[in-house]
Chain A
């Protein structure tokens, strides 16, 4: 089966600019996650969707970050305006849904963002 797709793979922007990342989860996966991974650290969960509803966004910096999952499939994560500290790899993951069967998360290759 096809894996989690993300684009772009790399992005370089200047601070105060805007940027958007796109994720296409595995077909049939109800749950979608966005993580931020700063160099040398483990991934940090930003937001979790169940179908097109938000389950948890407690660690999403809502003054500059936004995410949506229209129609419960693809998702977009946006940063506006970007800061230097937003330089990181943004990972998208998906899983089947609630319950034991959902404990395996499948990760995409990530988008490496550099803010200059």
Chain B
């Protein structure tokens, strides 16, 4: 599976937008980009996924670079509840097995 690179941690202020970057320079043409997050003492939670075009849902937006070698998860207004570890994951369309990396720990300050 292609690898992803994320910053270990990021800080944000409450009610401000947050941009979480992910590099995946070895992505293949059929790899989907998934984002999950894990709140303290809980299992991971699906956030969003995409292939080539930018995606929006009620939780977040996913901006995918034109060459697909990087992507950014955008939380439009961070709340204290958004403090979590955010994982950027690639998976091929041959299956939906997820290989989690270390993720980015997002801290939200009031």
A interface residues with partner B (beta carbon < 8 Å): 4, 31, 33, 35, 41-45, 48, 55-56, 91, 93, 95, 98, 102-110
Contacts and interface: CB of A to CB of B under 8 A. Distances in A.
B101 interface: yes
Given A103-B34, A103-B49, A45 B43 contact: no
Contacts, number: 54
A105 B99 CA distance: 13
Contacts of B110: none
Interface in B77-100: 85, 87, 91, 95-100
Nearest to A44: B100
Given A107-B43, A107-B44, A42 B103 contact: yes
Nearest to A41: B102
Given A56-B97, A103-B49, A110 B43 contact: yes
Nearest to B103: A42
Contacts of A35: 100
Contact of B46 (A4, A42, A43, A105): A105
